[in-house]
Structure 1
């Protein structure tokens, strides 16, 4: 039912459908964050209601925004690592250090969702080191994603430094704010980039589609424990656009 979680003419209708179909289980964390990020600002379409349909959409430069059910699933897999661990209070159950990297951040949608999940915990005010970084190798998408965030009333998050969108090759990660408790990758890599594993905190989680474009792909969840040991889990079969360089993406 996840791929049938269509909304109608509002963002709330989309989230309602995702919750009804149990794609969103954590309504107080994931559901609340997704309700505060209106997908219409991040999806280009001549029909505004298409933004609330449960399928991928083109966003320009041969890039896509994933289907809402995939975003919801990835946020569910992320939530424990976006929650900042407080050594004085382990009740949160979080493993996070306040740093998230979104590779292939596209139109900025998941960056906004991760930031909203942090704001729910007052992370932005309690930790000046908290950061959600989106890295995208197409400058026009970087520029557009910043504009999208402004339209969605997230400008203060950008100005405060909670959100950073930068141009670069996401396969190399982004060393400036490493290590990251959570790294999410929005395109399929033929193999897991070593740079991302090295920039993953301990503990930390990497969520990445792995596989070639015309072959089977798997959404891999890779956990690094406190000792730096890695555990791999094949979460589900998926179909993503390839994680490639700027030249090859524009030529696709």
Structure 2
């Protein structure tokens, strides 16, 4: 749920037919071009000058206009975050793509997302992972996202309304974990639920101050390394490990 300040498995999900509506196809392609330009411009910081074919195809297939409020449909394919209510946002497409890319998911991956929001990031993940488990702390957002994803045919996305700080232990371990809100520290339960050699992508830092998109990697022996990627601005993580 943010914007930037500065090889995957086969596609798994299918969006509804209106994702191919000609009214939106041109705008979606323009969005993809902007995302690719941002990837090239930030390559020195991210180490990724472009997107894998799977992530690129996911951006082209997910109907972002179905994940924004009706009054913002005309702005759905702009490369910027948009408000979705309850003090939350749908993330900038560039950030969605970059975070997905940084997970380096293996084939047939199982992914955990913390912060479902409108469901857009989960939908993108659904095209590059076998199963996506996503946790939302705000019931109205979680319920509407679950209904939206179901209507669009994303049968491999599973939504839970709960405090994401604790992850989703029943379906662990995960090949990758993605957090879509800024955390003051890495939640220990998420590290415990991450597979060895898996990656956790999370914005780190306090609200209204500098935050960094951070890649956390868990080695086979359990040791953890972190790498700051880009300065970003995310809404704060709420619940047990975030802002009350």
Counterparts of 2:229 and 2:181, CA distance in 1:
15
Higher relative contact order (CA 8 A, sep 6+): 2
Structure 2 residue aligned with 1:185: 179
Query: For the structure 1 residues 194 and 22, does the alpha-carbon distance in structure 2 shift closer, same or farther, using more than 3 Å as the test?
Result: closer
Q: TM-score, normalised by structure 1?
A: 0.78
Q: Residues of 1 paired with 2:237 and 2:228: CA distance?
A: 18
Q: Give me the whole-angstrom Cα distance separating, in 2, the residues matched to 1:26 and 1:62.
A: 30
Instruction: Please name the residue that 1:226 is paired with.
Output: 220
Number of aligned pairs? 215
Structure 2 Cα separation of the partners of residues 64 and 22 of structure 1: 21
Structure 2 CA distance for partners of 1:190 and 1:61, relative to 1, 3 Å: same
Matches within 5 A, 1:19-168: 19-22=36-39, 25-78=50-103, 80-81=104-105, 83-84=106-107, 98-118=109-129, 130-151=130-151, 153-154=152-153, 157-158=154-155, 162-168=156-162
Q: 1:12–1:35: 8 Å Cα contact kept in structure 2?
A: yes
Contact 2:4-2:233 at 8 Å conserved across structures? no
CA contact (8 A) 1:8 1:53 kept: no
Within 1, Cα distance between the matches of 2:38 and 2:185? 32
CA RMSD of aligned residues (A): 2.5
Residue 208 (structure 1) aligns with: 202
Where does structure 1 lack aligned partners over 5 or more consecutive residues?
85-96, 119-129
Which ranges in structure 2 are unaligned for 5 or more consecutive residues? 6-23, 41-48
Relative distance call for 1:191 and 1:22 in structure 2 (3 A) is closer
Offset of 1:62 from its aligned partner? 1.4
Cα 1:9–1:148 change in 2 (3 A) is: farther
Shift of 1:11: 2.0
- CA positional deviation for 1:98: 2.1
**Given the superposition, is the C-alpha separation of residues 222 and 3 from structure 1 closer, same or farther in structure 2, using an over 3 Å criterion?**
closer
Corresponding residue number in structure 2 for 1:121:
none
Q: Is the 8 A contact 1:108 1:146 kept in 2?
A: yes
